[in-house]
Structure 1
Amino acid sequence: MSTDPQQLAIIKAGLDAICREMAVNLRRSATSSIVREARDFSVALTDAKGEVVAQAECIPIMTAGISLAFADIAELVDVSTLTPDDAFIMNDPFSGGQHLQDIYLFVPIVVDGTVVGFGATTAHHVDLGGMHAGISTQATEIYQEGLRMPLSRFSISRDWENPRGFVRQVVGANVRVPDAVIGDLNAQFAANQTATRRLGELMQRHGVAACTAVMEELKDYSERRFRDAISQVPDGRYLAEEYFDGSAYGVGDVPICVQVEVAGDEMRVTFDGTGAQVLGNVNCPVASTVSAVQSAIRCCIPVEGIDFNEGCNRPIDIEVPYGSVLNPAAPAAVRSRLTPASRVFNAVVRALGEAIPEQAVATGFDTTTAIAVSSLVEGRYQVALEILGGGWGACAEHDGADGLDNPISNCANAPVEALETDFEHFWIDEYAIVDHSGGAGASAGGRGIRRSYVAKQDGVKVAGYSDRHREGPDGRDGGASGAPGAHAIVRADGSSERLSTNYEAVLNRGDRIVVVTGGGGGFGAPPADR
């Protein structure tokens, strides 16, 4: 059916509003600080085929991966047989997922007896079992990282809402903090219920046929607009290389090599020359690699007035060598997959900066700096998980931002007060911007942060990972590099030890771990008097 432009605009606004409400409800319903405060989650509406048609502004690498996570739905089940009591859960990195902590939850939206779409949510859960609370940094295979769930259909009333339900029991029995994990999954259900209710209301108001037609037209419209934007990029083959520090895993620098080919209104992105998968937790599932590429291209080729839905991905062909660190073979460990994924983002941005100089930007610290602080007292676990950001790269128009998570992650920094209210085993005695950590330039790179956690009791365990501890990110067009990051433990007696980029340690009362993130690169030669 043909779509009236005014009706299309009204229905589109309704779809966008549904996703924003989903995000608000998920955050306000969440239990853990990583979801409630850091906002490490994403939400979307899909059509009946599982393709994203609308999304809220949350975590780019998660939202970009929703369609990939749900790609097997047609092979798994006849969609027409689904009921409002059905749901799907998955977190398998080798079947379209990211890493085990990111659990995807899909609920069919049934209107007048027909499945018209799905409410889709994903959240980073504070613990999924594994070798170490929060982060299993020493894992060498996925079995050591926690509970792995392929895309699976289950009954909400029988398997979840029932306290003895199978899915609820399996999840609760395999995690250290079941109240937090189950609480956050309930928040995902609440967001999906919002999608079900609001999309049903929208379709009652405008008609099922009109709304489903708009869903298709929005994808087609985004594709047309995005193809037009790509066609403005000069044809050619643009190359870039990044690397991450593999010394903590017994290897040297691991190269991330990208080739971006632009031909007319299409792009082809390949990764020949990228390093092989690593015996450690730093491999990147192909869904994360694809999501990082899509996010980078969308950042470099801005198109005003369109939503980023599945239509935007149609002009982009991505090939990733199997067995590489960006497409590892099972059962590789993948917990720290954002380290190579961030270098994918950096490499694509750098390559496109050669094609579109006006969009060029210096490299940011762009490193997920994750830390888990846990305690086990009298059989009860407390697990705090933090994602800390650094300085962003500068561009011609302005300085880089200070203390922000990297662009494909986009988590917020949790307030000190919230953490100290939630947890009894540590306190934070410093949270500060690191002066002079951004690279100098005509526009200066953003500055990193310093955060210090002090153990309030003996036996507090910490684990974490990061990158760029040897060298900071590059500047551009004469700008200086940003400062590197660092992790260190300072004992109560004054002694200290520097930590690697992937570590586990134990703190006793009065010991502290100090986490420093690096700055972003500067852009342009700095003025002589600056």
Structure 2
Amino acid sequence: MSEANLGLIDKQIMWSRLIAVVEEQAQTLQRTAFSTVVRESGDLAAGVFDADGRMLAQAVTGTPGHINSMALAVGHVIDEYPIPTMQPGDVFIHNDPWMGTGHTNDISVTTPCFRDDTLVGFLACNSHVMDIGGLRDMSSSTDVFMEGLYLPILKIVEGGVLNETLMAVIRANTRQPVETVGDVYSLINCNDVGCARLSEMMEEFGLEELDELADHIIDASREAVRAEIAKLPKGTWRASLSLDGQGEPVELKAALTVTDGGIHVDYSGSDGMTKSNFNVPFCYTLAYTSYALGCIIARDIPNNAGSLEPRTVSAPAGSIVNAIKPAAVVHRHLIGLMLPDLVFGCLRQAIPERVPAEGSGVLWIVGASGSKSSPSRFGDDFMVSVVTTGGMGALPFRDGLSATGFPSGVRGGPIEIFESMSPVIVWRKEYRQDSGGAGRMRGGLGQTIEMENGIDEPFFFSGAYERVKFAPRGVEGGLDGGAGYVGLKSGSRLPSKGQHFIPSRERVLIMSPGGGGIGDPKGRDRVMVETDLANELISLKAAQELYGLERAAADQRSVTPIQEKIQ
């Protein structure tokens, strides 16, 4: 089939096939990854790009921080290695935070796809590796060079021949050489599979190039987003957000402007860079701002170079959301994942019927490390992490989701995997009762987690959390969600950011935040209040005092569904 003869239905079928191509690409990465947060939680991105480096399609599996920053990463590769210098069998690698996903733990791999020695497009992917060297206690890093191996854009494979020297450098700069090198191979293989499937698709449809299909995808997506923006009220709305920070709070400010041609978010007025390591490279700011806008105005429109184009972002250089190298950035998600709530604060003033209350935002990733022997011997160290989540803010038309990784898209990891890769035992993992902000629509619940080392040795617990001092805010009379908490079961409170020495036989207690509520709690449907009480999502005290449930109904519904069946 000649491209000149492509009909609209043909193009739609081919676009759907591209989604299948990149989803198989992503599943290959997830199934072969060594990193637990990739394998179990989907902390990755995969996509197909045209010969000019424009993103055409992204995999369903993946996170906005990876995908929307990866949308620009192929362009950086082309700038460094112009297309005429590329050849079949080349593969490019880097983990530059300012050209990738914002910190050195995320490795990005780009593979030019050739058919009959003609470059027809690119496959790109990235994922999080557990250890890339640097400080074991990343909470103390003060510049990016303390945060591990820093790879500029380099050829990891040239003409089909692996760069053994570069691979040796990677292997020598990690505490987990088998796992880290395995993840690099996983990334390379992921793109190989994507390229093979893309070539098969082009062969099936008789395509010599992707140009016409690419133009259709990008142009149609761009115009669809512009049409949605045209329906919005025009003007500028402002919002601010206070975050815990480290030592002193961080203030973020945004101004959102809607015009006929696009929507722009400006972060002028936000705090400057910090000496701590939650500064945000602009690519990551752009990623989560674009995602927040997409959730509200373009949720049914494919995410690609075209649909991203009408959403623009600016931030002063040197601000915390536009950090300048060599700023410490390893925990850039602490700020970046909060940007959607700030953007929603602006949008709520224009279209309140679509926008959720504030949620937990930042993932509550539980990290544990130590040795299986005393004294410690090389090879006996363990370093594991599992993704846990808090509550999503309520929406005007339904309750917020509980224990959900919004806006990251990362799934909570299975505790069984975490325990199988370390001696740590998780004794409790459950919904945190009453943590969802009360309201006509209730915020989602956070979680309570309790863990200790299963052997008679101390271990290190590490975490970097937000929403401990500043809880997710409710709106329109809805109450705030429960603030987060980190401490020891014996009673001592721990700082929410840092690495902590946990003595033998001591347990860590982690309580993630709940989402804010929307509307007066006393206006909540009585059946919904009774159901929450019966399912133990709220306490009897909350049902009566916050929701105004009459005592007779409260007494009746305080019996759990399981008890009901027994009776």
Shift of 1:303: 4.8
* In structure 1, C-alpha distance between the alignment counterparts of 2:284 and 2:92, rounded to whole Å: 20
Residue 265 of structure 1 aligns with which residue? 261
Residue 67 of structure 1 aligns with which residue? 71
State the secondary structure of the residue aligned to 1:395: coil
- Match runs of 1:222-371 below 5 Å: 222-246=221-245, 248=246, 250=247, 252-304=248-300, 306-371=301-366
1:431 is matched with which residue: 429, 443, 451? 429
Contact 2:386 2:414 in 1 (8 A): no
Contact 1:439 1:521 in 2 (8 A): yes
User: Mean alpha-carbon deviation: is it higher for 498-507 or for 274-283?
Assistant: 498-507
Residues 1:522 and 2:517 are matched in the alignment: yes
Contact 1:104 1:121 in 2 (8 A): yes
Distance 1:384 1:206, change over 3 A: same
Residues 1:116 and 2:120 are matched in the alignment: yes
* In structure 2, C-alpha distance between the alignment counterparts of 1:62 and 1:314, rounded to whole Å: 17
TM-score (structure 2 length as normaliser): 0.88
Contact 2:113 2:123 in 1 (8 A): yes
What is the percent sequence identity of the aligned residues?
Answer: 28
Residue 454 of structure 1 aligns with which residue? 452
State the secondary structure of the residue aligned to 2:493: strand
Residue 507 of structure 1 aligns with which residue? 502
State the secondary structure of the residue aligned to 2:509: strand
Look up the equivalent residue of 2:138 and give its one-letter code.
Answer: S
Contact 2:77 2:92 in 1 (8 A): no
* In structure 1, C-alpha distance between the alignment counterparts of 2:89 and 2:508, rounded to whole Å: 46
Contact 1:68 1:97 in 2 (8 A): no
Residues 1:106 and 2:106 are matched in the alignment: no
Contact 2:120 2:209 in 1 (8 A): no
Distance 1:457 1:150, change over 3 A: farther
Shift of 1:386: 2.3
2:40 is matched with which residue: 37, 56, 66? 37
Contact 1:399 1:444 in 2 (8 A): yes
* In structure 2, C-alpha distance between the alignment counterparts of 1:334 and 1:113, rounded to whole Å: 40
* In structure 2, C-alpha distance between the alignment counterparts of 1:158 and 1:508, rounded to whole Å: 50
Contact 1:71 1:96 in 2 (8 A): no
Shift of 1:497: 2.0
Shift of 1:230: 0.7
* In structure 1, C-alpha distance between the alignment counterparts of 2:495 and 2:447, rounded to whole Å: 18
State the secondary structure of the residue aligned to 1:366: coil
State the secondary structure of the residue aligned to 1:190: helix
* In structure 2, C-alpha distance between the alignment counterparts of 1:166 and 1:516, rounded to whole Å: 45
Contact 2:369 2:459 in 1 (8 A): yes
* In structure 2, C-alpha distance between the alignment counterparts of 1:110 and 1:83, rounded to whole Å: 8
Residue 143 of structure 2 aligns with which residue? 141
* In structure 1, C-alpha distance between the alignment counterparts of 2:27 and 2:306, rounded to whole Å: 25
Residues 1:185 and 2:184 are matched in the alignment: yes
Contact 1:69 1:90 in 2 (8 A): no
Contact 2:392 2:515 in 1 (8 A): yes
Contact 2:359 2:393 in 1 (8 A): yes
Look up the equivalent residue of 1:302 and give its one-letter code.
Answer: A
State the secondary structure of the residue aligned to 2:516: coil
Residue 440 of structure 2 aligns with which residue? 442
State the secondary structure of the residue aligned to 2:140: coil
2:7 is matched with which residue: 4, 9, 15? 4
Look up the equivalent residue of 2:154 and give its one-letter code.
Answer: S
Shift of 1:96: 4.4
Look up the equivalent residue of 2:252 and give its one-letter code.
Answer: I
Contact 2:144 2:327 in 1 (8 A): yes
Distance 1:480 1:317, change over 3 A: same
CA deviations over 1:110-167 (Å, ceiling 9, x no partner) = 01211111111110111111111xx61111111111111122233257764x7xx022
* In structure 2, C-alpha distance between the alignment counterparts of 1:207 and 1:489, rounded to whole Å: 63
Contact 2:265 2:312 in 1 (8 A): yes
* In structure 2, C-alpha distance between the alignment counterparts of 1:151 and 1:68, rounded to whole Å: 14
Contact 1:159 1:167 in 2 (8 A): no
Look up the equivalent residue of 2:336 and give its one-letter code.
Answer: A
- Match runs of 1:377-392 below 5 Å: 377-380=376-379, 381-392=381-392
2:31 is matched with which residue: 28, 33, 53? 28
- Match runs of 1:181-220 below 5 Å: 181-209=180-208, 211-220=210-219
* In structure 1, C-alpha distance between the alignment counterparts of 2:388 and 2:5, rounded to whole Å: 48
CA deviations over 1:227-285 (Å, ceiling 9, x no partner) = 11111111100111112112x2x3x2211111111110311211110001000111111
State the secondary structure of the residue aligned to 1:71: helix
Contact 1:286 1:326 in 2 (8 A): yes
* In structure 2, C-alpha distance between the alignment counterparts of 1:75 and 1:65, rounded to whole Å: 16
* In structure 2, C-alpha distance between the alignment counterparts of 1:243 and 1:299, rounded to whole Å: 22
Structure 2 unpaired stretches of 5+: 523-546, 550-567
Contact 1:95 1:150 in 2 (8 A): no
TM-score (structure 1 length as normaliser): 0.94
* In structure 2, C-alpha distance between the alignment counterparts of 1:229 and 1:183, rounded to whole Å: 43
Shift of 1:2: 6.3
Shift of 1:340: 1.1
Residue 406 of structure 1 aligns with which residue? 406
* In structure 1, C-alpha distance between the alignment counterparts of 2:406 and 2:450, rounded to whole Å: 20
Look up the equivalent residue of 1:141 and give its one-letter code.
Answer: D
Look up the equivalent residue of 2:58 and give its one-letter code.
Answer: Q
Distance 1:229 1:189, change over 3 A: same
* In structure 2, C-alpha distance between the alignment counterparts of 1:521 and 1:64, rounded to whole Å: 27
* In structure 1, C-alpha distance between the alignment counterparts of 2:101 and 2:472, rounded to whole Å: 29
Shift of 1:459: 3.8
Contact 2:369 2:382 in 1 (8 A): yes
Report how many residues are paired: 515
* In structure 1, C-alpha distance between the alignment counterparts of 2:46 and 2:392, rounded to whole Å: 25
Contact 2:121 2:210 in 1 (8 A): no
Structure 1 unpaired stretches of 5+: none
